[in-house]
Amino acid sequence: MFVSRLQLVNFRNYQNQLVSFSPGKVLIYGANGQGKTNLLEAIYYLVIGKSFRGKDSSLIRFGAESFFLGAKITKDGQKITLGIEYSGKGKIFTKNGQKQKGFSYLLGSLKGVLFTPDEPVNFFGSPTNRRKSLDLFLAQTSKTYLLNLIYYNKVLANKNALLKQPGTTENIIDAWDYKLAEYGAEIIKEREKSLRVLNELLTELNDELKFLLGKITIDYKPQGTLEKESFYRFLKQRQGEERIKKFALFGPHRDDFRFYLNDKDLKVFGSQGQKKGVLLLFKLAQAVYMTKILGEKPVLLLDDLYSEFDSEKRRALEGFFLNFSEQVLITATDPGDLKNYDQAVLINDGLVL
Ligand SMILES: Nc1ncnc2c1ncn2[C@@H]1O[C@H](COP(=O)(O)OP(=O)(O)OP(=O)(O)O)[C@@H](O)[C@H]1O
């Protein structure tokens, strides 16, 4: 799939901009602070229904009251139009001109994988960010996963409220734990399976691209089990501790997965370059996963990629992109950074020239 048209109205520093994109390698270039990342942010907004870097209110162009993003997607020769409007009153979602009840009805229409230079710090910095990142990928690849996650979070919120209430009995908590175990086991199963596959794909990519020396391993530490009944017993055994702390301490909302390079924890021992490399490989593995398992090539959104990697890695990457994406949008300050592109888009002060 690829984005053939994008409209930005009062989004960041864009007033009313229509951009046409070709499939293939698209170079988005311009000086610092002109709106290159804003453009990727807009496209990724249509992928995940929110910004990867700011609150909705901060995305409205200074002085305006709402923003609108619209896109035309070409998918297997068919055209899909998506629209999201945000104002202080909320968001309006449209697909093919029809208003939709929520973003979950748009999710998956445009599949995308984003890599930004700031991301490794956040990603390796906290388990919450790693979980969020994985959830964004899995929500795009599986509707069931998304639903289980939504239900799980609702039950979790209820359980947490009850744990704070004086006089809540064990029986009441039991009922919520049973539900948590039901959804939680499914979440853990999907995370376990996908991380195993992603690890295999990432290893193949690393061999092919000769990116980092050594073996990369993803170690997933689920806070529960893969089966509902044993998960429920796992939670029940820990109820005492949760009642004292008045907070749900166990379950996939506390899961973590860590990356090891030659059996050394990357978070603790990895260099900045190694962390960036592994995260980029992890993202590219997601694109391969979507292509191989779902049969849908996502759009790759790579912010300032070439300032991050040495020339050998750049060369390896250039040959790779279009195997697993129909369209890759790469931002750069120097137009000489990307060779053999299909389209170059110059951005200047919120305008596409
Ligand atoms: N809500 C907003 N309204 C108007 N302008 C905004 C808004 N939010 C951010 N901007 C402007 O957007 C610009 C930054 O855009 P962006 O992050 O896309 O830059 P960039 O071209 O990727 O630059 P760099 O190469 O430095 O990363 C800044 O000039 C900033 O003032």
CA of 32 to the centre of ligand 1 (A): 8
- Model confidence pLDDT, tens digit, residues 13-53: 999 999 999 999 999 999 999 999 999 999 999 999 999 99
> Which contiguous run of DSSP H or E holds residue 8?
strand 2-11
Residue 316 has pLDDT above 90, yes or no: no
Residue 184 pLDDT = 97
Atom 2, ligand 1: residue with shortest CA distance: 12
Confidence grade of residue 156 (pLDDT, cut at 50, 70, 90):
very high
CATH of 1-111+296-353, one of 3.40.50.300, 2.60.40.10, 3.40.50.2300, 3.30.420.40: 3.40.50.300
CA 230 to ligand 1 center in whole angstroms: 50
Closest-lying ligand 1 atom to the alpha carbon of residue 31: 25
- Whole-number Å distance, alpha carbon 349 to ligand 1 midpoint, is 8
- Contact between residue 301 and residue 44 where contact means Cβ atoms under 8 Å apart: yes
User: Measured in angstroms, how far is the CA atom of residue 13 from the centroid of ligand 1?
Assistant: 6
**Is the CB of 130 inside a 6 Å radius of any atom of ligand 1?**
no
Each residue's pLDDT tens digit, 170-225: 888 999 999 999 999 999 999 999 999 999 999 999 999 888 889 999 999 999 99
What distance in angstroms lies between residue 83's CA and the mean position of ligand 1's atoms? 22
Structure tokens at 118: 């700031």
The per-residue pLDDT for 121 is 93
> Which atom belonging to ligand 1 lies closest to the Cα atom of 61?
3
- Binding-site residue numbers are 30-37
CA geometry: angle 306, 14, 346, nearest 5 deg: 40
What separation in Å is there between the alpha carbon of 348 and the centre of ligand 1?
Answer: 11
Q: Is the ipTM of this complex over 0.85?
A: yes
User: Which atom of ligand 1 is found nearest the CA of 59?
Assistant: 1
Q: What is the mean pLDDT of residues 86-107?
A: 95
Is the pLDDT at 308 greater than 80? The verdict is no
CATH fit for domain 126-294, picks 1.10.3720.10, 3.30.420.40, 1.20.1050.90, 2.40.110.10: 1.20.1050.90
Nearest CA to 68 out of 93, 48, 40 is that of: 93
CB within 8 Å of 125: residues ≥ 6 apart: none
Give the number of the atom of ligand 1 that is nearest the alpha carbon of residue 60: 1
Ligand 1 centre to CA of 128 (Å) is 27
Q: What is the DSSP code (8-state) at residue 31? A: S
Residues 6+ apart with CB under 8 A from 72: 3, 4, 5, 6, 79, 80, 81
Q: For residue 74, which of 37, 48, 111, 107 has the smallest C-alpha distance?
A: 111
Q: 3-state class of 66 per DSSP?
A: strand
Burial class (CB in 10 A: 0-12, 13-18, 19+), 197: middle
Bridge partner residues of 115 (DSSP): 302
User: pLDDT digits over 122-143, tens only?
Assistant: 999 999 999 999 999 999 999 9
Q: Is the CB of 61 under 6 A from ligand 1?
A: yes
Q: Is the CB of 297 under 6 A from ligand 1?
A: no
In this structure, the residue with its CA closest to atom 24 of ligand 1 is 32
User: What pLDDT is stored for residue 315 in this prediction?
Assistant: 83
Closest CA to 147 of 182, 104, 189: 104
Q: Which atom of ligand 1 is nearest to the CA of 40?
A: 18
Element (H, E) at 11: strand 2-11
Question: What are the CA-CA distances from residue 155 to residues 162, 178, 182, 244 (Å)?
Answer: 11, 10, 11, 19
**Cα–Cα nearest to 256, from 139, 130, 125, 150:** 130
- Our answer on whether the CB atom of 116 is closer than 6 Å to any ligand 1 atom is no
Please tell me the distance between residue 204's alpha carbon and the centre of ligand 1 in angstroms. Answer: 36
Answer yes or no: is pLDDT of 68 > 90.
Answer: yes
Which run of H or of E encompasses 29?
A: strand 24-29
Question: Where are the chain's structural domains?
Answer: 1-111+296-353, 126-294
Three-class secondary structure of residue 245 per DSSP = helix
Instruction: Look up residue 254 and give its DSSP letter.
Output: G
- The CB of 35 under 6 Å from ligand 1? The reply is yes
Q: Is 36 in the pocket of ligand 1 (CB under 6 A)?
A: yes
* Residues contributing to the annotated binding site for ATP: 30-37
Is the shortest distance between the CB of 13 and ligand 1 below 6 Å?
A: yes
**CA-39 nearest atom, ligand 1:** 18
Q: How far apart are CA 339 and CA 332, in angstroms?
A: 12
Phi, psi of 107 (to 5 degrees): -55, 130
CA 341 to ligand 1 center in whole angstroms = 24
Please work out whether the CB of residue 217 comes within 6 Å of at least one atom of ligand 1.
no
List, for residues 234-270, the tens digit of each pLDDT value.
999 999 999 999 999 999 999 999 999 999 999 999 9
Q: Calculate the alpha carbon distances from 207 to 194, 200, 298, 311 in Å.
A: 20, 11, 22, 17
Q: Which atom of ligand 1 is nearest to the CA of 41?
A: 18
